[in-house]
Amino acid sequence: MIRALHRWPGLLALALLTVLSLSGAALSVFPAADRIAAPQAEAGLTIAALADRIQAVYPGVEQIRRSPSGRITAYWFEQGAPGAAVIDPATGEGVASADPNQVERWLTNLHRSLFLGDGGRMAMAAGAAAMLVLSLTGAALVARRTGGWRHWFAALRGPLAGRLHVEIARVAVVGLVLSSATALWMTASTFDLLPDGGAMPAAPAAVSGETGFAPGRMPMLWQTPIAELRELSFPYPGDATDVFTLKTDRGTGYLDQGDGALLTWADLTAWERVSETIYMLHTGQGAATLGLVLGLMALGVPAMGATGVLVWLAGRRGRPRIRGNQTAGRAETILLVGSEGGSTWGFAATLHAALTQAGQSVHVGPMSGFAPKRYAAARRIILLAATYGDGAAPASAKGFLDRLNACDRAPDIPMAVLGFGDRSFPAYCAFAKDVAAAAQAKGWPQLLPPGTIDRQSPQDFARWGRGLGDVLGLDLELSHQPVQPHMTTLTLVSRRDYGAEVQAPTAILRFALPRVSLWQRLRAGGFARFQAGDLIGILPEGGAVPRLYSLASGRRDGFVEIVVKKHPGGLCSGQLMALEPGDTVAAFLRRNAGFRPGRSRAPLILIGAGTGIGPLAGFVRGNTRGRPLHLFFGMRHPDSDFFYGEEFPGWQDEGRLTRLVTAVSRGARPNYVQDALRGEAAQVVELIRNGGRVMVCGGRDMAAGVADALADILAPAGLTPSLLKAEGRYVEDVY
């Protein structure tokens, strides 16, 4: 609901808000420029003294005005011609033109009415209202995302556009609320909807009838410092019934031109004061610094508009159409989705497609639509639940727990929960866990133990799918592509071959950096931005499922590199191994944000075997800042599959690699990478105690062996791999 209230006003008002914010930001400069340019009065100068000085220079002076910036302007009439100038209060002489600034006037009219009169004013007021709604709903969304108001500035994760959107918003929102709320007030005031009109003092009952009392001698003007002056109007020459009119920060009064007495006075009303304060807050006139700050914040609006549209488009793209969705009443399998941004729907679509292909009838719907009584033909219920923020229900699962708890008893249909989350958050899959706990408390039979998917990992999902397939007696291969990938053609530049001697032909394939469109660059999509450890997907000719390979290079390296081992009968690896320089292959990029070394300078322990060395070598190559990197590399034989063996000495000399420990599995004394770890136990413990991080890449068996070895090594220090994982200091990329 809040999201919809944020999205639609935002999209509708985008153009209007861009005009409003850019013109507002430009206008914010003027009060500050005014403040700097205007000659300021000396401290203690009174209105009387100033009026004397000006009258000495311009005897025909009619009015003296002081703007909130301190600029003093005098208007006079001499020899039948009107004159005006900005006055230097020290001398009373004109120093600059008093004509309004045409650029400022143009911008002001654009900003408040699009040059369209009252209709334009109302349109711009609607824009301000949209801005206010966007600010408030946006703030609520940020609080929900970061896990509460107290975590307002918590670190963000996720795609760049969404992060930028929130980063700008949480700084700018204060200014935008202030600017939009004051704009609405000012519009209401302009349309006379507020009782904030100026109170004029009563017309004086009698005047002295004399003329010629110099303003410099009037007590009222002696007592009032120049800082309080707004306007002093002189009486018409020759009209003895006219009076001096004085407006100050406190009110308005009439002064007798014959004896200088204060005839009548009216204080500003409370409404006027409020309106004036609001005017100052909105325009920065009288608060130039605040104006500049608000102007800067307003500049965030176009940026948030652009990133907001990208977030919206990504969300739309990420939510696929479910083809052949069964009705809830007839489906054997009910898939209920709790998704916030839409990515979990993609997983549901993949599962739906795979189950349907396996002959099942499947219904997909939101968790918020949970209605067990409707599932007449259902034999299983599968819940795919993301988590929002600090364990809250995601948008499409709102009310699920209430509905479940309101049931007399849980359905008899066995269920499975699969949680989606990010392991680096403390509340990892918290909502899914709540659901599982509530189901257990209700005595809902379990089809599968609860599972989790870390950072949308396709590998995790495929593994969970195999488990589900086992239970259902199906051969379930879940290959999930979150977004219909945009294929890019990669051209092979060079290849280095290894492993023929050990019956494991492997190659390091290097492709040229593909051309990137401007649109991709703007969105940082496709190959516009990638790092070692990200994945490329390659769809083999004649195959339906893309295969993923870890990248051994980042965009900055200037090429795309992977390490590929030929699997017996492997369609994709076979085709890749047959590539010669100049040949091309279709590929797409998939980010793997969970497997990155990060920017910290803490020591890094890289552990890999076989082709798993690829991303780790990429990290080493990219380590130009001299971060301590310790690489444990398991291979069959140094003469056959020592990938990057030529580069390692150079990288060590350049300080990119601190230490290389190799383990050789073929030979008289087979040695695996976990054995090498045990051999360096003391140093490993030392590194981890100093904040070190562990990154493991390779096959599942190797990863399990490494985890066992680390458990043994760390136990004396009171640490466990699971503790490190929970802290985000132990990550694996396992296949």
User: How many residues bind to other proteins according to rule CB under 8 A?
Assistant: 25
Query: What are the angstrom distances between the C-alpha of 382 and each of 332, 376, 593?
Result: 11, 15, 27
Residue 203 in contact with other proteins, rule: CB under 8 A: yes
Q: Is 364 helix (H, G, I), strand (E, B) or coil?
A: strand
Would you count residue 198 as binding other proteins (CB under 8 A)?
yes
Nearest approach in angstroms of CB 60 to other proteins is 12
Q: Tell me which residues in 157-196 interact with other proteins (CB under 8 A).
A: 189-192, 196
Q: Which is nearer to other proteins, 153 or 236 (CB)?
A: 236
From first CA to last CA, the distance across the chain in angstroms is 40
Q: Does 236 bind other proteins (CB under 8 A)?
A: yes
Residue 294 CB, nearest distance to other proteins (Å)? 20
CB of 180 to other proteins, least distance (A): 21
Q: How far is 344 from 352, CA to CA, in rounded Å? A: 12
Report the residue number, 245 or 662, with the smaller CB distance to other proteins.
Answer: 245
Closer residue to other proteins in complex, CB, 203/544: 203
Kindly tell me the burial class for residue 562, based on how many C-beta atoms sit within 10 Å of its own C-beta (0-12, 13-18, 19 or more): buried
User: What's the min distance (Å) between Cβ of 223 and other proteins?
Assistant: 25
Tokens of residue 94, six digits: 């004109």
Q: How far is the CB of 68 from other proteins (least distance, A)?
A: 12
Indicate the residue among 101 and 722 with the shorter CB distance to other proteins: 101
Please state, in angstroms and rounded to a whole number, the distance separating the CA atoms of residues 296 and 27. 11
- What DSSP string runs through 97-120? --SPPHHHHHHHHHHHHTT-HHHH
Residue where the block lists tokens 């509530």: 438
Least distance in Å: CB of 77 to other proteins?
7
Q: Single out the residue of 12, 116, 200, 471 in contact with other proteins (rule: CB under 8 A).
A: 200
Residues across the chain: 735
Give the shortest CB-227-to-other proteins separation in angstroms: 21
Site membership for other proteins, residue 197 (CB under 8 A): yes
Sole residue written with tokens 């296949």: 735
Q: Is 519 in the site for other proteins (CB under 8 A)?
A: no
Identify the residue among 18, 40, 63, 652 touching other proteins (CB under 8 A): 63
Q: Which residue, 252 or 333, is less far from other proteins as judged by CB?
A: 252
How many angstroms separate the Cα of 8 from the Cα of each of 5, 158, 309?
6, 22, 11
Round the CA-based radius of gyration of the chain to a whole number and report it: 36
Q: Kindly state the tokens that stand for 121.
A: 């004013």
Pairing of strands 72-78, 81-88: antiparallel
Residue type, 453: I
- Distance, in Å, from the CA atom of 227 to the CA atom of 446, rounded to the nearest integer, reads 77
d(CA 129, CA 131): 5
Q: Does 118 bind other proteins (CB under 8 A)?
A: yes
Q: How far is the CB of 197 from other proteins (least distance, A)?
A: 5
Per-residue binding letters, 74-113, with other proteins (x by CB under 8 A): -x-x----x-x--------------xx-x--x---x----
Residue nearer to other proteins on the CB measure, 115 or 682: 115
Minimum distance from residue 75 beta carbon to other proteins (Å)? 4
Residue that is written with structure tokens 């898939």 in the block: 335
Residues near other proteins (CB under 8 A) are 62-63, 75, 77, 82, 84, 99-100, 102, 105, 109, 117-118, 189-192, 196-198, 200, 203, 233, 236, 245
